[in-house]
Amino acid sequence: MTDSSPAAALAPLSARPGDFAGRIGFVAATTEVATVARNRLAARYGEVPPEEAAVVVALGGDGSMLETQHRLLGRNIPVYGMNRGSVGFLMNDYREENLLQRLAEAQAAVVHPLRMCATCADRTRCEALAINEVSLLRETRQAAKIRIMVDGRTRLSELICDGILVSTPAGSTAYNLSAHGPIVPLGAELLPMTPISAFRPRRWRGALLRSDAEVVFEILEADKRPVAAVADYTEVRDVRRVEVREDRSISLTMLFDPGHGLSERIIAEQFTV
């Protein structure tokens, strides 16, 4: 099992520049600026297929980082992002110079995805992984009614809302933050659960759960109030029951320049006004 203590949340990669020479895979968003950057870097440093690389450099925004991590799921190849998009919370600054040195000096943040198991109206089951969050969202004008259970115990018998989400620490600054959920530092071993436009109980603002919590959402009055479940890019319609847990058998490694790591960015974001 990967150590997820606060001290291990951000650690030096302990590599040398030569370790990555000729062993870098490059991926880019479909935008022109990202494609041009990818071609320039590949010509300068050489490249191998991402699945065979010692490290992958992702060029684009945060979406490119997530897409790359999904593409490499199960391989745990470190991914170093450089911002060539509009949002770059998970990305480093873009510079063509000294890439091998930057990779060798990078610090690694290890995160674990959420595994969603959704049961639909026709009793089919769908599993998907989420690096950011698993969200439940109403499908029609009718508000959703959802029962919330944690570790086999009913914690909220009925939440009337537009939706609800469970986020990873890495994803706590994404949709979770927009829904007024708390930012969670890496290594805290906590998962934020945040309602989306809660109507009843009106004052409930969500919860912080242990990272090993087993969460179950049951959809009430599902025929009248249909709900969809979304795990990053996977959407399942008309769900009846959704189970969410952290999958610690899968590790994802993101690389950051010293002093600009994900833990520091999460802390800094909490003081942004």
* Residue ranges at the known binding site for NAD(+): 62-63, 132-133, 162, 170, 173-178
SS3 143: coil
Angle at 247 between CA 53 and CA 130, to 5 degrees: 75
Q: Which two tokens stand for residue 91?
A: 């990305």
Distances 78 to 4, 16, 114, 222 between C-alpha atoms, Å: 16, 15, 19, 41
Task: List residues forming the annotated binding site.
Answer: 62-63, 132-133, 162, 170, 173-178
Distances 197 to 43, 144, 159, 203 between C-alpha atoms, Å: 49, 10, 10, 11
247 included as an active-site residue? no
Nearest to 256, CA basis, from 273, 268, 272: 268
Catalytic annotation, pick one of 3, 19, 62, 247: 62
* Strand-strand pairing, 239-246 and 190-196: unpaired
- Known catalytic residues are 62
